[in-house]
Protein backbone atom coordinates (compact mmCIF):
# COMPACT_ATOMS: atom_id res chain seq x y z
CA UNK A 1 0.00 0.00 0.00
CA UNK A 2 1.38 3.39 -1.00
CA UNK A 3 1.56 6.45 1.22
CA UNK A 4 -1.42 8.20 -0.42
CA UNK A 5 -3.56 5.06 -0.21
CA UNK A 6 -2.59 4.68 3.45
CA UNK A 7 -3.55 8.31 4.14
CA UNK A 8 -6.92 7.74 2.54
CA UNK A 9 -7.64 4.98 5.00
CA UNK A 10 -10.33 5.89 7.45
CA UNK A 11 -8.32 5.54 10.65
CA UNK A 12 -5.35 7.60 9.42
CA UNK A 13 -7.61 10.40 8.26
CA UNK A 14 -9.23 10.56 11.70
CA UNK A 15 -5.86 10.41 13.49
CA UNK A 16 -4.34 13.16 11.32
CA UNK A 17 -7.49 15.31 11.49
CA UNK A 18 -7.56 15.10 15.30
CA UNK A 19 -3.78 15.49 15.74
CA UNK A 20 -3.53 18.57 13.49
CA UNK A 21 -6.61 20.11 15.11
CA UNK A 22 -5.49 19.48 18.69
CA UNK A 23 -1.95 20.72 18.08
CA UNK A 24 -3.27 23.75 16.19
CA UNK A 25 -5.65 24.65 19.04
CA UNK A 26 -2.95 24.04 21.65
CA UNK A 27 -0.58 26.47 19.88
CA UNK A 28 -2.97 29.27 20.81
CA UNK A 29 -2.21 28.56 24.50
CA UNK A 30 1.45 29.22 23.62
CA UNK A 31 0.31 32.43 21.88
CA UNK A 32 -1.47 33.64 25.04
CA UNK A 33 1.60 32.91 27.20
CA UNK A 34 3.92 34.76 24.81
CA UNK A 35 1.59 37.76 24.59
CA UNK A 36 1.11 37.87 28.36
CA UNK A 37 4.88 38.20 28.83
CA UNK A 38 4.87 41.44 26.75
CA UNK A 39 8.39 41.00 25.40
CA UNK A 40 9.44 41.93 21.86
CA UNK A 41 10.84 38.45 21.12
CA UNK A 42 7.73 36.87 22.66
CA UNK A 43 5.51 39.00 20.42
CA UNK A 44 7.40 37.80 17.33
CA UNK A 45 7.04 34.18 18.47
CA UNK A 46 3.32 34.71 19.16
CA UNK A 47 2.89 36.05 15.62
CA UNK A 48 4.44 33.00 13.96
CA UNK A 49 3.01 30.48 16.42
CA UNK A 50 -0.49 31.85 15.72
CA UNK A 51 0.20 31.53 11.98
CA UNK A 52 1.39 27.93 12.51
CA UNK A 53 -1.76 27.24 14.55
CA UNK A 54 -3.91 28.55 11.71
CA UNK A 55 -2.05 26.38 9.15
CA UNK A 56 -2.51 23.26 11.33
CA UNK A 57 -6.22 24.01 11.82
CA UNK A 58 -6.56 24.59 8.07
CA UNK A 59 -4.86 21.21 7.41
CA UNK A 60 -7.22 19.59 9.94
CA UNK A 61 -10.15 21.22 8.10
CA UNK A 62 -8.88 19.94 4.72
CA UNK A 63 -8.39 16.39 6.05
CA UNK A 64 -11.80 16.43 7.71
CA UNK A 65 -13.34 17.36 4.36
CA UNK A 66 -11.83 14.22 2.81
CA UNK A 67 -12.92 12.06 5.74
CA UNK A 68 -16.40 13.56 6.04
CA UNK A 69 -17.29 13.44 2.34
CA UNK A 70 -15.64 10.09 1.50
CA UNK A 71 -16.09 7.98 4.63
CA UNK A 72 -18.36 9.41 7.31
CA UNK A 73 -21.54 9.58 5.22
CA UNK A 74 -21.03 6.13 3.68
CA UNK A 75 -19.56 4.18 6.61
CA UNK A 76 -20.03 5.79 10.04
CA UNK A 77 -23.30 7.73 9.68
CA UNK A 78 -25.43 4.69 8.70
CA UNK A 79 -24.01 2.76 11.69
CA UNK A 80 -24.80 5.51 14.20
CA UNK A 81 -28.23 6.31 12.74
CA UNK A 82 -29.16 2.63 12.77
CA UNK A 83 -28.48 2.19 16.48
CA UNK A 84 -29.56 3.48 19.87
CA UNK A 85 -27.38 6.59 19.56
CA UNK A 86 -28.90 8.12 16.42
CA UNK A 87 -29.15 11.45 18.29
CA UNK A 88 -25.34 11.59 18.30
CA UNK A 89 -25.37 12.14 14.55
CA UNK A 90 -28.39 14.46 14.65
CA UNK A 91 -27.06 16.70 17.43
CA UNK A 92 -23.33 16.16 18.04
CA UNK A 93 -22.07 15.54 14.50
CA UNK A 94 -24.31 18.14 12.88
CA UNK A 95 -23.17 20.77 15.40
CA UNK A 96 -19.53 19.69 15.14
CA UNK A 97 -19.33 19.82 11.38
CA UNK A 98 -20.67 23.38 11.26
CA UNK A 99 -19.03 24.94 14.34
CA UNK A 100 -15.76 23.46 13.07
CA UNK A 101 -15.93 25.87 10.10
CA UNK A 102 -15.67 28.82 12.53
CA UNK A 103 -12.34 27.72 14.00
CA UNK A 104 -9.87 28.25 11.10
CA UNK A 105 -11.56 31.62 10.44
CA UNK A 106 -11.05 32.61 14.11
CA UNK A 107 -7.45 31.34 14.02
CA UNK A 108 -6.64 33.32 10.86
CA UNK A 109 -8.30 36.42 12.35
CA UNK A 110 -6.23 36.04 15.54
CA UNK A 111 -3.03 35.88 13.48
CA UNK A 112 -4.07 38.95 11.43
CA UNK A 113 -4.88 40.88 14.63
CA UNK A 114 -1.57 39.97 16.28
CA UNK A 115 0.33 40.86 13.08
CA UNK A 116 -1.46 44.25 13.10
CA UNK A 117 -0.15 45.10 16.58
CA UNK A 118 3.66 45.45 16.20
CA UNK A 119 3.84 47.68 19.31
CA UNK A 120 2.37 44.97 21.55
CA UNK A 121 5.21 45.06 24.09
CA UNK A 122 5.35 48.88 24.40
CA UNK A 123 1.88 50.33 23.64
CA UNK A 124 -0.41 50.39 26.69
CA UNK A 125 -3.52 51.30 24.64
CA UNK A 126 -3.64 47.97 22.77
CA UNK A 127 -6.86 46.00 23.46
CA UNK A 128 -5.19 42.98 25.06
CA UNK A 129 -8.11 41.21 26.76
CA UNK A 130 -10.13 40.58 23.58
CA UNK A 131 -7.01 39.15 21.88
CA UNK A 132 -6.53 36.75 24.81
CA UNK A 133 -10.25 35.91 24.71
CA UNK A 134 -10.16 35.17 20.97
CA UNK A 135 -7.11 32.91 21.39
CA UNK A 136 -8.84 31.15 24.30
CA UNK A 137 -11.96 30.70 22.17
CA UNK A 138 -9.90 28.90 19.49
CA UNK A 139 -8.62 26.54 22.23
CA UNK A 140 -12.07 26.00 23.78
CA UNK A 141 -13.85 25.39 20.47
CA UNK A 142 -10.94 23.23 19.26
CA UNK A 143 -11.08 20.94 22.27
CA UNK A 144 -14.88 21.07 22.21
CA UNK A 145 -14.60 19.52 18.74
CA UNK A 146 -12.24 16.88 20.18
CA UNK A 147 -14.81 15.94 22.82
CA UNK A 148 -17.59 15.84 20.20
CA UNK A 149 -15.37 13.60 18.03
CA UNK A 150 -14.88 11.27 20.98
CA UNK A 151 -18.65 11.02 21.52
CA UNK A 152 -19.18 10.25 17.80
CA UNK A 153 -16.47 7.55 17.79
CA UNK A 154 -17.85 6.07 21.04
CA UNK A 155 -21.38 5.99 19.57
CA UNK A 156 -20.15 4.15 16.46
CA UNK A 157 -18.15 1.63 18.53
CA UNK A 158 -21.02 1.08 20.98
CA UNK A 159 -23.49 0.53 18.11
CA UNK A 160 -21.15 -2.02 16.55
CA UNK A 161 -20.92 -3.79 19.90
CA UNK A 162 -17.32 -2.87 20.58
CA UNK A 163 -18.00 -1.00 23.82
CA UNK A 164 -16.89 2.59 24.33
Partner 1 sequence: MKNIKVFSISAMASIVAITVFTIIGELAAPFKDALKAMTGHHWISKSILAVVIFLVLGLILKYTAKANNEASGKYIWGVFWTAIIGSIVLLLYFIIHAIA
User: In this structure, are residues 60 and 149 in contact, taking their beta carbons and an 8 Å threshold?
Assistant: no
Minimum distance between the CB of residue 18 and partner 1, rounded to whole angstroms?
18
Query: Residue 125 or residue 162: which is nearer to partner 1 going by CB?
Result: 125
User: In this structure, are residues 119 and 126 in contact, taking their beta carbons and an 8 Å threshold?
Assistant: yes
Task: Catalogue the E-assigned strands of 12-63.
Answer: none
User: In this structure, are residues 29 and 139 in contact, taking their beta carbons and an 8 Å threshold?
Assistant: yes
Minimum distance between the CB of residue 49 and partner 1, rounded to whole angstroms?
18
Sign of CA dihedral 58, 59, 64, 66: positive
CA distance 22 to 14: 12
User: In this structure, are residues 35 and 46 in contact, taking their beta carbons and an 8 Å threshold?
Assistant: yes
Query: Using the rule CB under 8 A, is 112 a contact of partner 1?
Result: yes
Query: Residue 87 or residue 150: which is nearer to partner 1 going by CB?
Result: 87
Pattern 86-105, partner 1, x by CB under 8 A: -x--xx--xx-xxx-xx--x
Minimum distance between the CB of residue 118 and partner 1, rounded to whole angstroms?
10
Minimum distance between the CB of residue 94 and partner 1, rounded to whole angstroms?
5
> Which residues of the shown chain bind partner 1 in the complex (CB under 8 A)?
61, 65, 68-69, 87, 90-91, 94-95, 97-99, 101-102, 105-106, 108-109, 112-113, 115-117, 127, 129-131, 133-134, 137, 141
Amino acid sequence: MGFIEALQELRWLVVLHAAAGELGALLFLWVIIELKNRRETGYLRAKWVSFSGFILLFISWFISATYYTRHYGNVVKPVIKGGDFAWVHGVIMETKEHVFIFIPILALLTFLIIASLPDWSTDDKIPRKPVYALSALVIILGFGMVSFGYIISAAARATLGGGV
